[in-house]
Structure 1
Amino acid sequence: MNYDLIALDIDGTLLTDGHVLTPVVREAVREAHRRGAEIVLCTGRGPVNALPVLDELGLAGTMITHNGAATVDSARREVLHQYSIDPAEIVRFREYCLRAGMHFDINTPFEMLIEGITPEAEEMYRLYGASPVLRDPSEPLPEGLVKFTLFGGIADLDRVEAEWNTWSHGLQHIRSGDYFIDVQHRDASKGTALRQLAQLRGIDQSRVMAIGNYFNDVGMLTFAGLGVAVANSPEAVKSAADVLTRSNEEDGVAHALQEFAWS
């Protein structure tokens, strides 16, 4: 086995566009685990809707969730590290979405809170296996927030992203998918969390492999000794990676593991 730690993005990478874990990919990931690599899901999802994917793989262990804002122990359902944001810092983003009539959710490490829902958002949550909880908008925002996520159409999010890029604020916003913008702590990223985990394990950077497909994966792709982008990645993500593999619709993770992890 060429790598001791293998970080895998979930959506658009490990899963097909239909959110399916194919048998070929499942077996390849399990084979990498059998050969001695620690498999770490490294995702923009929260722990609650990342856990079913880990269960489907038949694995357990540490997961990097919320784009690196919360690292959790899947077996104990325990937060190992989180980058919290002050509720006051997201008020501006929340009010913007309310004025624009755009759907958003507010996340602690293990909770996803919403203040309303549209049919489109309801279908999106179903596809991602998420079960948001309706909160009373008149209540104060909870402490321990790690992420604020805006959901909408591509053109709408392109416009929002361009506008938010002109704002001065202490957080970061990142496009985590065509239909999502995540707002979180400035220091939170998959790359930072993966670096912390590798150091904790005593694993050299050269022994880390990461596979991803989107802009929120760039940090982990550039940190890893081998960063692999699947073929369905945007060009900027491909440029950040060391090598390319097949798309998520063509069992790209399996091919990458077979070609680079134990060849």
Structure 2
Amino acid sequence: MAIRLIAIDIDGTLLDSRWELPEANRKAIAEAVGRGIEVALVTGRRFDFALPIAQQLRCRLVLIVNNGALVKSKDGTTHLRHLLPRDIARRALQATPRFREGTAVVFDRLRENQVMFERIDWEDPGRKAYFDRNREFIGQASPLESCLTEDPIQVMYTGPVERMREVEALLRALPLAKQFALAVTEYESRDFGLIDVIHPACSKGATLAEWAALRGFVREEVMAIGDNFNDREMLEFAGVPVVMGNSVPELKQLGWRETLSNDQNGVAAAIEAYALVPG
């Protein structure tokens, strides 16, 4: 069956290890769109953080952002939205006070106060680049729970991998654990991890399935490309799942197709091998 929708993760997949968009990937995506295949960028990034990447592609696509919480067009039109109930966000924060450094609450807002922190060290060497790129979107509230005047998109924890594994274990052990979902991303080479607390029915895979149904596509017509733990559900949904050569070992062990690494234009290679072929 011919591919009609390609879902592509951004970090570690579409972008190379320098966080740049390889020209070969851009051309392969343009060729796919030119042949009538739809493309969705499926990412843990916020819309405003993912948009500059989408704009480099210069073709029609949608963005499934915040690990599936929102689906938007490039112009900011929202097609789907799954927010985390503020009471659940508050209870998650109250259960994790010793991890407050690097913890943020993320909202679906136009610009100011999208990402709220309790404390901000603008010169923190591990976070300075992120803070500088997102300064106009960042706000501060102390205690952090006081910012919950509306339902957020997510509670976001960031830090060293082992510390984030502690957060994950603590959250999964909570009595309210069934009232939220966790999206886990790890970059062991950088010793950096992210844990997102999101709506309980939310994941990259669940939202990709929802979007595919709205577009009239069956799973056999969907191809997904990813590299990390938070990509697993969308890879499980897709009829043609492809893992990157630089993927975490746990995904490579699942028997899916494997493409080249993100420094070897793996997205372009996958599209050419599995989507730009006769159905």
CA distance in 2, matches of 1:69, 1:225: 22
2:114 aligned with 1:115: no
Task: Give the partner amino acid of 2:184.
Answer: R
Q: Which of 199, 202, 210 matches 2:224?
A: 210
| Pair 1:154 & 2:154 matched | no
Secondary structure of 1:210's counterpart equals strand
The match for 1:79 is 78
Give the distance between the partners of 1:212 and 1:241, measured in 2 at CA.
14
Q: How does 1:110-259 map to 2 (within 5 A)?
A: 110=109, 111-118=114-121, 119=124, 120-126=126-132, 129-131=133-135, 132-137=137-142, 139-169=146-176, 170-178=179-187, 179-240=193-254, 242-259=256-273
> 1:25: which partner in 2?
25
Shift of 1:235: 2.2
> In terms of mean alpha carbon deviation, does 23-32 or 135-144 score higher?
135-144
Judged with a 3 Å threshold, the aligned counterparts in structure 2 of structure 1 residues 241 and 186 are, in CA distance, closer, same or farther, namely farther
RMSD (Å), alpha carbons: 2.0
125 and 58 in structure 1: CA distance in 2 versus 1, 3 angstrom threshold = farther
Worse overlay, 131-140 or 146-155? 131-140
Following TM superposition, the consecutive aligned residue runs of length 4 or more in structure 1 with deviations greater than 4 angstroms are none
- Give the Å deviation of 1:70: 0.9
Q: Give the Cα–Cα distance (whole angstroms) in 2 for the partners of residues 116 and 98 of structure 1.
A: 13
Amino acid at match of 1:146: I
C-alpha deviation, 1:210, in angstroms = 0.6
In the alignment, structure 1 residue 5 sits paired with structure 2 residue 19: no
Structure 2 CA distance for aligned equivalents of residues 130 and 59 of structure 1: 25
Q: 1:125 to 1:4 in 2, by over 3 A?
A: farther
CA offsets per residue over residues 191-244 of structure 1, 9 Å max, x none?
Answer: 111111111111121111110111111111111110101011122222346311
The residue type equivalent to 1:155 in the other structure is E
Q: Is the 8 A contact 2:3 2:37 kept in 1?
A: yes
Unpaired runs of at least 5, structure 2:
188-192
Distance 1:253 1:167, change over 3 A: same
Task: Output the CA distance in 1 between the equivalents of 2:26 and 2:67.
Answer: 22
CA change 1:219–1:171 in 2 (3 A) is same
1:17 positional shift:
2.0
Matched residue, 2:190 = none
Deviation at 1:175, TM superposition (A): 1.0
Q: What CA deviation, in whole Å up to 9, does each residue of 1:142-170 have, x standing for no partner? A: 31311111010112112222232322211
3-state SS, counterpart of residue 130 of structure 1: helix
1:72 is displaced (CA, Å) by 1.4
TM-score (norm 2): 0.86
Letter of the structure 2 residue corresponding to residue 260 of structure 1:
Y
Q: C-alpha displacement at 1:254, in angstroms? A: 0.7
Q: Whole-Å Cα distance in 1 between the matches of residues 11 and 173 of structure 2?
A: 29
- The size of the alignment, in residue pairs, is 260
User: Cα–Cα, structure 1 residues 197 and 244, in superposed 2: closer, same or farther, change >3 Å?
Assistant: same
Tell whether the 8 Å contact from 1:25 to 1:254 is kept in structure 2 after alignment.
yes
Distance between the aligned counterparts of 1:105 and 1:152, measured in 2?
12
Question: Which position in structure 2 is the counterpart of 1:99?
Answer: 98
% identical aligned pairs:
30
* 1:9-88 matches, cutoff 5 A: 9-75=9-75, 77-88=76-87
* TM-score (normalised: structure 1): 0.91
> Structure 2 vs 1, CA of residues 107 and 24 (structure 1 numbering), >3 Å: closer, same or farther?
same
